[in-house]
């Protein structure tokens, strides 16, 4: 809470346009990623262009590849997302739009990337994570 507010003041409801705009600027990549996953899921689920079977297959293949080659996949994903993060905002928005279009027309590509991330994350958290019980 803000220290300058009086305890008797009612908290405002909702977000202002400025707060929403700041949130969008700060989390551009995450917003486009979530939108792409949502669109890819709907596109696969309702068989708009390619069915869910191929998306599940590619997600599984991505996870298997990442479990077999964890260091190489971690390094490649780090370079890929690091490159995106270093771009200026306009370029990040264009990359996000491309990701959404890919999610609509060929969702299995996005699911393969999600499989790579899942397999890489599994290796990171299971084998390199804290050993506290």
Q: What is the DSSP string of 62-115?
A: HHHHHHHSHHHHHHHHHHHHHHHHHS-HHHHHHHHHHHHHHHHH-HHHHHHHHH
Q: Provide the number of structural domains found in the chain.
A: 1
In a domain, 96, yes or no: yes
In a domain, 1, yes or no: no
Q: Is pLDDT of 1 > 70? A: no
Name the residue range of residue 40's domain: 28-127
pTM: 0.77
pLDDT grade for 10, boundaries at 50, 70 and 90? low
Q: Tell me the pLDDT tens digit for each residue of 90-128.
A: 999 999 999 999 999 999 999 999 999 999 988 878 877
Computed from CA positions of residues 67, 95, 79, 35, in that sequence, does the dihedral angle turn out positive or negative? negative
In a domain, 51, yes or no: yes
In a domain, 102, yes or no: yes
In a domain, 37, yes or no: yes
Contact 62, 115 (CB under 8 A): yes
- What pLDDT is recorded for position 105? 92
In a domain, 132, yes or no: no
In a domain, 11, yes or no: no
- What pLDDT is recorded for position 9? 63
Contact 88, 21 (CB under 8 A): no
In a domain, 83, yes or no: yes
Q: What percent of the chain has pLDDT over 70?
A: 87
Angle among Cα 11, 13, 15 to the nearest 5 degrees reads: 115
- What pLDDT is recorded for position 123? 80
């Amino acid at each position: 809470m803000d220290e300058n507010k009086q305890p008797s003041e009612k908290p405002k409801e909702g977000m202002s346009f400025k707060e929403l705009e700041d949130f969008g600027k700060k989390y551009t990549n995450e917003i486009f990623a979530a939108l792409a996953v949502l669109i890819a899921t709907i596109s696969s689920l309702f068989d708009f262009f390619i069915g869910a079977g191929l998306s599940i297959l590619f997600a599984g293949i991505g996870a298997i590849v990442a479990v077999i080659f964890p260091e190489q996949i971690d390094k490649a994903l780090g370079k890929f997302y690091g490159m995106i993060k270093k771009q200026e905002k306009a370029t990040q928005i264009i990359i996000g739009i491309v990701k959404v279009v890919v999610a609509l027309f060929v969702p299995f590509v996005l699911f393969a990337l999600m499989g790579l991330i899942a397999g890489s994350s599994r290796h990171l958290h299971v084998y390199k994570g804290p050993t506290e019980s």
